[in-house]
A = this chain, B = another copy of it.
Amino acid sequence: MNPFQFQVRVYYEDVDLGGVVYYANYLRYFERARSEWLRSLGVNQEQLAAVEGIGFVVVRAEIDYKLGARLDDQLAISVVPVEMKRAYFWLEQEARHADGRICAAARIKAACVRHSDMRPQPIPEQLIARLAA
């Protein structure tokens, strides 16, 4: 089965004076892909916040930088859930060149929290099923 993928283009705002994507910006790419992944699963984060008062926050990120990406490059950003727990989950994400070479690979731990006090919350049952699909 193919993982979820989202295409991003590298623009001027993204690269540093070395001509490659600035290291923090991969976290922006990874978040865009996670937002599109949730959207593709029918998970509406704004509604989740408004109705249930909960949301997901990244509590740990591990990123390996392997290869620079340059201006105008088109990168495929993947999202693969690899571990689903009661109140958090782990994702694997990669940013790949069109030829398949990996620019950056990440493991992301996202926790479900109550917005009012940011305390951990169990992920709603129907969401767990959807995220792990």
Q: Measuring CB to CB, which residues of chain A are less than 8 angstroms from any residue of chain B?
A: 9, 11-13, 15-19, 22-25, 27-28, 31-32, 35, 39, 45-46, 55, 57-66, 68, 71-72, 115, 118
Query: Do A12 and B27 touch across chains, with their CB atoms under 8 A apart?
Result: no
| Interfacial chain B residues near A22, Cβ < 8 Å | 12-13
- Majority DSSP secondary structure for residues of A touching B: mixed
Picked from B13, B55, B115, the residue with its CB within 8 Å of the CB of A24 is B13
| Interfacial chain B residues near A118, Cβ < 8 Å | 68
Number of copies: 4
Query: Do A62 and B61 touch across chains, with their CB atoms under 8 A apart?
Result: yes
Query: Do B28 and A27 touch across chains, with their CB atoms under 8 A apart?
Result: no
| Interfacial chain B residues near A24, Cβ < 8 Å | 13, 24-25, 27-28, 31
| Interfacial chain B residues near A62, Cβ < 8 Å | 60-63
Query: Do A17 and B12 touch across chains, with their CB atoms under 8 A apart?
Result: yes
| Interfacial chain B residues near A12, Cβ < 8 Å | 16-17, 22, 31, 35
Picked from B32, B64, B66, the residue with its CB within 8 Å of the CB of A11 is B32
A18, B46: Cα distance in complex, Å: 11
| Interfacial chain B residues near A16, Cβ < 8 Å | 12-13, 15-17
